[in-house]
Each structure stands twice: as structure tokens, then as C-alpha cells.
């Protein structure tokens, strides 16, 4: 099968999955499209949003549509790295037992691992998560376990700050995207979510999605085909490079933020890995729109979500990270001329 035929077939799978997600998840059209881009770019995703906006429902729905196993763990201050790998208990006959934890119990079939309230977990747990994300493997019981199909989704609690630990920059940089899941503004959607009984029974809602719409075991292969088939022109490469340089020294491009000393704003701009991930996502976005080449709109569509969490601010501005990062990157997009 040629690359073109393969991608055409898989574009049908992607559209079917997106349509199924829209039928059970209301008001999150853009996050759904961006999560699809992350899935086909083989990138991990950080979610941020208020309580009860549908983050877990969305991920469970994506996992069902992909096939494979879904696991979830709650971040707590007393969570230890070993809790992800195994757990010990006393069996029915009074004998101690050690069973595989949430990471190991499904082996290579694990498709999506959701770490809820990841910033409640201690730095030791973040270190283990970093290896899992970087290498899709973990060492336990004197052997290495691999998770070739794994995507990690994490949720950061943005409302409560007590007993939380900031995610280190190295771990943040491993996430392809950081998505904000907000309450929909459309009154008709709000009314449906509040009143229609089908949105009150999450299990039934998720079961309405056909299982394994996308053959998850082939995602890695298809992702590689997308990356080598969807082209980026030299002009667009220069555009992406200008965007990158502007994240490192926005003042040099005449970018100003009200009430901010621009020469004291940033410790570091986006990383090389981050910008390569941005282009990976842009290629997938072009493919989802049935294009064989990336256009500026594809980069602009994913720029904020793939770059904002990689910026390192001076401590005086870190507390305003969410606002400043989005405002800065929006101005960069408006300032740098697209080809």
C-alpha cells in the first residue's frame, strides 16, 4: 500500500473518531481537534481546567475510540513512584501478595494513561513520569517493560495551591501540548449539559462510542508516514524559525506587553525539542485538513498550545504565567509576517 493510500484510509479513521467524540462531548470542538493532532503526532498532553468540565470523560472517550487499555491514577501528596508500578496487599488466605500497578497491568496494550492532578504528586513521581514519557518504558522486577502505544495525559489543578508541587521544566517540555478545557459559552450547550439525561450517565455516554475506531497498534507507523509525507516549504521553515527566535527575545521584534519589563520577562524561550514538536503537530493538522503541505494557518493553530508551557519566566512574572504566555505568543503571531 502506498503512503498516499495509507494516509487517505487513516484520514477516514480520524474523521470517524472525531465525529464520534463530537456526538458525546459538547462544546469542546477545538480541544478535540487538538487532541487528535496530538494522538497522530504521538505526543503527550497536559490538560488544565476547572473541576467538572469533562476532562476525564473526554479522555475516556478518546481511549475507547482508539482501542487499547485506559488507566487513571489520582495525584496525592503521599503517592510514591512504586504505586504506579505495583501494589501490595493481603490475599483472601492471609498471604501477602504483590500485583502489577496501573502501568504494568495491561503491558503493551496500554494506550492512554491519565494522571489526574499531577501537581499534587511529589517530585519523585514526576521523575518517573518523565522517564515514561521520554522512553515509554520503565524498569521493575529486574526487567524492562515497554509501552510502545502509550500516550500520557495529565491534568493540573489550577484552583488549589496547597500541598501541590510545580511541574519541573524538563517534565513540562515533554508534553507536546498544554490544553485549556473551559466551560462552553454557548447557552444551548450549557442547557443540554445541565438538563439532558444522557449527559448525566457517563458510562452509557462513553459506551455509545464504537470501540477501536482507530487501530491503535498502527499509530506509530502512520505517524511516521505523516511526518515524512506532509511537506514544509523553505519559506514556512523560515517563518517557523522567526517565531522561535521571537519566543527567545521578543523585545528584539518590537513586542511589548503592558506593565511588563520585556528585558526581565523570560529566563528562556522555547526549546529545540518544543519547536520540532510544534512542526510535528502542524504537519498532522495539515493532514487532518486534507493538505499535503503545511500552511501558516496550521502552525498558527497549534503554536500557543505547543509553545506556551515551554516558556520559562522570571520568578517575578511566573505567577502570571497563564496570562502572559498566551498574550505574548498571540502578539508574536500577529507581529511575525507569514509567507
Q: Chain-centre distance of CA 329, in angstroms?
A: 18
How far apart, in whole angstroms, are the C-alpha atoms of residue 104 and residue 84? 8
Computed over every residue of the chain, the mean pLDDT equals 90
Q: Where are the domains of the chain?
A: 3-221, 230-335
Cβ atoms of 44 and 174 within 8 Å: the answer is yes
Q: Which residues contact 325 (CB under 8 A, 6 or more apart)?
A: 304, 308, 309, 311, 313
For the segment 162-190, the average pLDDT, to the nearest whole number, is 86
How far apart, in whole angstroms, are the C-alpha atoms of residue 39 and residue 226? 12
Position 87 scores a pLDDT of 80
Position 14 scores a pLDDT of 94
Q: Within 10 Å of residue 138's Cβ, how many Cβ atoms? A: 18
Region for 141 from its dihedrals, namely left if φ exceeds 0, alpha if ψ lies in -120 to 50, beta otherwise:
left
Distance (Å) of CA 256 to CA 87, 108, 338: 52, 48, 20
CATH of domain 230-335: 1.10.8.80
Nearest to 329 by CA among 270, 273, 286: 270
How far apart, in whole angstroms, are the C-alpha atoms of residue 20 and residue 13? 11
DSSP-derived pairing of the beta strands 137-140 and 110-116: unpaired
Q: Which fold has domain 3-221?
A: Rossmann fold (3.40.50)
Model pTM? 0.91
For the segment 268-289, the average pLDDT, to the nearest whole number, is 94
Q: Which residues contact 103 (CB under 8 A, 6 or more apart)?
A: 71, 84, 85, 110, 113, 132, 138, 145, 147
Q: Chain-centre distance of CA 26, in angstroms?
A: 19
**% the chain with pLDDT above 70:** 98
pLDDT tens column, 54-99: 888 888 899 899 888 889 999 989 999 989 998 877 777 777 788 8
232 band by pLDDT with thresholds 50, 70 and 90: very high
pLDDT tens column, 130-169: 889 999 999 888 889 999 999 999 988 666 666 678 888 8
Position 260 scores a pLDDT of 87
Amino acid at each position: 500500500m502506498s503512503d498516499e493510500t495509507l494516509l487517505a484510509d487513516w484520514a477516514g479513521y480520524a474523521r470517524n473518531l472525531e465525529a464520534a467524540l463530537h456526538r458525546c462531548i459538547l462544546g469542546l470542538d477545538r480541544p478535540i481537534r487538538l487532541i487528535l493532532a496530538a494522538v497522530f503526532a504521538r505526543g503527550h498532553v497536559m490538560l488544565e481546567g476547572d473541576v467538572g468540565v469533562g476532562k476525564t470523560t473526554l479522555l475516556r472517550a478518546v481511549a475507547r475510540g482508539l482501542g487499547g487499555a485506559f488507566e487513571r491514577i489520582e495525584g496525592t501528596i503521599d503517592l510514591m513512584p512504586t504505586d504506579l508500578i505495583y501494589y501490595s496487599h493481603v490475599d483472601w488466605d492471609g498471604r501477602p501478595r504483590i500485583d502489577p500497578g496501573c502501568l504494568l497491568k495491561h503491558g503493551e496494550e496500554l494506550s492512554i494513561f491519565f494522571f489526574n492532578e499531577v501537581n499534587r504528586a511529589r517530585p519523585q513521581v514526576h521523575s518517573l513520569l518523565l522517564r515514561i514519557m521520554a522512553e515509554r518504558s520503565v524498569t521493575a522486577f529486574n526487567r524492562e517493560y515497554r509501552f510502545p502505544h502509550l500516550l500520557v495525559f495529565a491534568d493540573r489543578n489550577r484552583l488549589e495551591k496547597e500541598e501541590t508541587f510545580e511541574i519541573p521544566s524538563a517534565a513540562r517540555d515533554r508534553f507536546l501540548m498544554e490544553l485549556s478545557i473551559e466551560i462552553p459559552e454557548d447557552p444551548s450547550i450549557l442547557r443540554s449539559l445541565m438538563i439532558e439525561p444522557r449527559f448525566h450517565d457517563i458510562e452509557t455516554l462513553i459506551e455509545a462510542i464504537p470501540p477501536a475506531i482507530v487501530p491503535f497498534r498502527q499509530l506509530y507507523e502512520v505517524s511516521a508516514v505523516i511526518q515524512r509525507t506532509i511537506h514544509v516549504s523553505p519559506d514556512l521553515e523560515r517563518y517557523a524559525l522567526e517565531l522561535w527566535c521571537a519566543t527567545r527575545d521578543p523585545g528584539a521584534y518590537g513586542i511589548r506587553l503592558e506593565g511588563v519589563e520585556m528585558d526581565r520577562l523570560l529566563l528562556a524561550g522555547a526549546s529545540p525539542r518544543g519547536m520540532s514538536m510544534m512542526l510535528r503537530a502542524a504537519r498532522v493538522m495539515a493532514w487532518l485538513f486534507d493538505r499535503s503541505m503545511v500552511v501558516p494557518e496550521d502552525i498558527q493553530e497549534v503554536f500557543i498550545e505547543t509553545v506556551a508551557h515551554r516558556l520559562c519566566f522570571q520568578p517575578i512574572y511566573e505567577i502570571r504565567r497563564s496570562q502572559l504566555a498566551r498574550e505574548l505568543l498571540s502578539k508574536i503571531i500577529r507581529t511575525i509576517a507569514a509567507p
